Chains A and B, each alone.
Chain A
Amino acid sequence: MTTPAIPEGVKRCSTGKFALGLAVAGAVLLWGVYAMFLVWYKGLNQTGMDNAYGFALWIWADLAIIAFGGGAFFSGFLTYIIGRKELKSIINYAVIIGVICYSSALLILGLDVGQPLRGWFIFWHANVHSMLTEVAFCLSLYLGVLVIEFIPVVLENPKLDRFRFIHHFSHNMHEVMAVFAATGVFLSFFHQGSLGGVAGVLYGRPFSFREGLLIWPWTFFLFTWSAAAVGPCVTVLITWLTEKIAGKKLVKQEIFRMLGKISGWMLLTYMIAKIADTWYWAAVTAPSKGFALMDFYTNNPIYGIWILIAELVVCGLVPALILISRKGRENNFLLAGAMILAVIGIGINRWVMILQVMAAPLLPFQDWYMYMPTWQEIATTILPIAYGTILIMLAYRYLPIFPQEKELNPGS
């Protein structure tokens, strides 16, 4: 008798339907791969970047995707270090989402460096004073940790688990997972922070420059905190989406609410710190460099004061207040809406800290300098979504990701 590839006790869609889904996602993936090939073959002239925009859409996507993947390290921290064992029902999925986010981030970086063949230079000839060197080391190592956390999930596929060595290996990896999770938290703290630190140390660009603590600008801590706040929201939203597509309950509603509450308090404390940071920057730091607050929000076609209000209030304080209130969390519409707003808010934060920084004039005789991405940049930024969709489809079909699935769907 052959061992079924699909986990025991759960039902999955027909092979034809699954293949059709793979084909649709695969077509988008191929579009992205074609654009990727053009960038690697013809060079960065395929992009809208120039001397003013060394950082552009890709780096925004990188920073956003790394923040969104923060659910893996923060859920791991809560599960294995703090001891919230109930999160084991969602930790596998958080890890898979983390693997997708971090591998995508490294893929995008592989495009952005322009010379991927020299990518190893940053490790071999490391400039230890650079925030980006810290990011490169921590990001690469953390992807390794995420893959290690993902391996036992893959090995639990019924076809693999029947081998004794694999069965024992998977079990032993689970036994020491707390060690890997703790290493992941350590690495995440530094790379999430250093990504914020990159913007904060740009003393020649008063829109992003911040004071700080010792060598770390305040943006270092704000980026780490915001990633921990929004990461669980992304995990919950993708789990919800998976439930809607699969037509099943996969995780108990209490888990979503618990993560919503944790995210809410993280987001609220982050917003208090962020508003204090913005006020100090607007009142002290920027004026000391010769800029008034409104210099950064006028005389250009896009960046009005609306973007600051959207980031801090509409997509910051509002979702935080909804998520910390019991009534807000118990209403599914409000819970999902608040999480979506929070994700958009952090996306806006990463956008302004990359793109608006590049657009704002530095000298009195300069104008705003706008940027438009090419289709190649857009296609390669959408590529990770298609790749992530395919990986999630395969993982959901063949791996026992959700331990509560059988219990929540007794008839299926």
Chain B
Amino acid sequence: MFPFIFEWEWDIAHLVFMGAAGFAVSIIGAGITYCILKTIYDTATEDGGEKGHH
């Protein structure tokens, strides 16, 4: 899974597969991080979340 695991090889298959997996994890992680930070900001300032609420 990672370059420090003994099976790892620096070939195109590993780079494409793990690159795509890492990309997906990064998007999910970034989305959640954004939500948490924005929520902290909104709660602290109480000016967000009310405009065009779902």
A interface, CB within 8 angstroms of B: 123-126, 128-129, 133-134, 137, 141, 144-145, 148, 164-165, 167-169, 171-174, 176, 179-180, 183, 186-187, 190
**In the bound complex, how far is the Cα of B18 from the Cα of A167, in angstroms?**
36
Q: Is the CB of B35 within 8 A of A173?
A: yes
Q: Is the CB of B24 within 8 A of A126?
A: no
Q: Which residues of A contact B7 (CB under 8 A)?
A: 125
Chain A min CB distance to B40 (Å): 8
Give the bracket for the number of chain B residues in contact with chain A: 20 to 34
Chain B min CB distance to A167 (Å): 7
On whether A137 and B54 interact (CB within 8 A), knowing A168-B42, A183-B28, the answer reads: no
Q: Is the CB of A171 within 8 A of B31?
A: no
Q: Contact string, B16-54, partner A, CB cutoff 8 A, digits 1/0? A: 111011001101100110111011101100101100011
**In the bound complex, how far is the Cα of B43 from the Cα of A67, in angstroms?**
40
Q: Across the interface, name the chain A residue whose C-beta is closest to B11.
A: A128
Q: Is the CB of A179 within 8 A of B27?
A: yes
Q: Is the CB of A141 within 8 A of B24?
A: yes
Q: Is the CB of A144 within 8 A of B28?
A: yes
Contact among B28, B34, B43 with A145 in the assembled complex (CB-CB below 8 Å): B28
Q: Is the CB of A128 within 8 A of B14?
A: yes
Q: Across the interface, name the chain B residue whose C-beta is closest to A120.
A: B1
Chief secondary structure at chain B's binding surface: helix
**In the bound complex, how far is the Cα of B14 from the Cα of A165, in angstroms?**
41
Q: Is the CB of B1 within 8 A of A124?
A: yes
**In the bound complex, how far is the Cα of B5 from the Cα of A3, in angstroms?**
52
Task: Give the one of B14, B28, B32 with max A CB within 10 A.
Answer: B28
**In the bound complex, how far is the Cα of B39 from the Cα of A395, in angstroms?**
24
Q: Which residues of B contact A187 (CB under 8 A)?
A: 24
Chain A min CB distance to B17 (Å): 4
Q: Which residues of B contact A167 (CB under 8 A)?
A: 49
Q: Which residues of A contact B43 (CB under 8 A)?
A: 164-165, 168
Q: Is the CB of A141 within 8 A of B42?
A: no
Q: Which residues of B contact A133 (CB under 8 A)?
A: 17
27 sample A-B contacts, Cβ–Cβ < 8 Å, listed by A number: A124-B5, A125-B7, A128-B13, A128-B17, A133-B17, A141-B21, A141-B25, A144-B28, A148-B31, A164-B46, A165-B40, A167-B49, A168-B39, A169-B35, A169-B39, A171-B42, A171-B53, A172-B35, A172-B38, A172-B39, A172-B48, A174-B54, A176-B31, A183-B24, A183-B27, A186-B24, A190-B20
Contact among A123, A129, A165, A176 with B1 in the assembled complex (CB-CB below 8 Å): A123
Q: Across the interface, name the chain B residue whose C-beta is closest to A152.
A: B54
Q: Across the interface, name the chain A residue whose C-beta is closest to B25.
A: A141
Task: Give the one of B1, B48, B53 with max A CB within 10 A.
Answer: B1
Task: Give the one of A123, A126, A134, A145 with max B CB within 10 A.
Answer: A126
Contact among A128, A141, A148, A174 with B32 in the assembled complex (CB-CB below 8 Å): A148
Q: Which residues of A contact B40 (CB under 8 A)?
A: 165
Q: Across the interface, name the chain A residue whose C-beta is closest to B30.
A: A179
Contact among B18, B48, B53 with A128 in the assembled complex (CB-CB below 8 Å): B18
Contact among B20, B32, B54 with A171 in the assembled complex (CB-CB below 8 Å): B54
Q: Is the CB of A134 within 8 A of B17?
A: yes
Q: Which residues of A contact B21 (CB under 8 A)?
A: 137, 141
Q: Across the interface, name the chain B residue whose C-beta is closest to A125.
A: B7
Q: Is the CB of B49 within 8 A of A172?
A: yes
Q: Which residues of B contact A126 (CB under 8 A)?
A: 1, 17-18
The 4 A-B residue pairs whose C-beta atoms are closest, nearest first, are A128-B17, A168-B42, A171-B49, A169-B39
